[in-house]
Structure 1
């Protein structure tokens, strides 16, 4: 894909759902395959239904935010964020980045960074001092991306596919605020 225009970010709508799912599926397939997961394991039909349900809920929810990165009218990236999903985390102290996905043909073009900045603005607007996310430990591309943006492991994890965990990362927003 050739990106001719600037990247803009806008709120996602239900009309976008099929394109959101396409971006999510393409990105997910690419990073799981790069991490050694068998192609058939990444193409689980139940997971596809779960993605549709999750994105529909994120778009409709008054407590969550779903955004699309758009270039020349085409959705090239997506992100979802909101209160922490874990009941062990106090929602007044942290916001969760549920996911960022960028179409693989748009990787390395700044789309993920623009979506990440949208999440940081979400935290600042909500006066939350920190962000939380989980990433598959074999997704080295995403782990490097988050490390460049200041995310650090917080010690938490949960089991993931192919005996590889999802690891929790934390971002302290105060470190990233620009001076006035």
Structure 2
């Protein structure tokens, strides 16, 4: 695992696109809803901002020189959360076809280490409610829904989860 840089952004964007397409399709969204050059460009710009940000960290998991997973983390973006005690897991993505091989758990462990290293008591994240794979993954790692939701695609919400004390 290593810290991402600007040279990684295209690969990160491609991996993110593959992963999100897989879970949104599994949740019932059509290819038409997922395929958009504007959305791809927006994802790439978002990853470039994250990689170049002073307050976010993006990590790349590699296996034999191939990008197999990504993690983005940093301060919370929600107004109701205190950045002095809460860290945000923005995204974990693992290359489809490699799910269930422990890559996501290694990325998750890096986030937990980030919380320890920065003396943050709580982690938060959002996961699309129809992404049953992510919901189960986070539940296995001790994350609990905290009651906050926001609208997401396909008339399904993003569910906020917490790790640690409330």
TM-score tier by shorter-chain length is: over 0.9
Q: 2:42 and 2:90 mapped to 1: Cα distance?
A: 14
Map of 2:119 onto structure 1: 127
Matched, 1:112 2:79: no
Map of 1:153 onto structure 2: 145
How many residues are aligned here? 166
Per-residue CA deviations over 1:53-109 (Å, capped at 9, x if unaligned) read 111111111110000000001000001000001122110110000000001011111
Matched, 1:42 2:34: yes
Note the aligned Cα RMSD (angstroms).
1.2
Give the C-alpha shift of residue 48 in structure 1.
1.4
Q: Look up the SS of the partner of 2:80 in the other structure.
A: coil
Per-residue CA deviations over 1:19-58 (Å, capped at 9, x if unaligned) read 1011100000000000001111112322212211111111
Map of 1:101 onto structure 2: 93
Matched, 1:66 2:53: no
Q: 1:32 and 1:51 mapped to 2: Cα distance?
A: 15
Q: Look up the SS of the partner of 2:142 in the other structure.
A: coil
What TM-score do the two structures reach when normalised by structure 2? 0.97
Matched, 1:79 2:71: yes
For residues 1-20 of structure 1, the aligned pairs below 5 Å read 9-20=1-12
Q: 1:92 and 1:45 mapped to 2: Cα distance?
A: 37
Deviating 4+ runs (over 6 angstroms): none
Per-residue CA deviations over 1:7-29 (Å, capped at 9, x if unaligned) read xx100011111110111000000
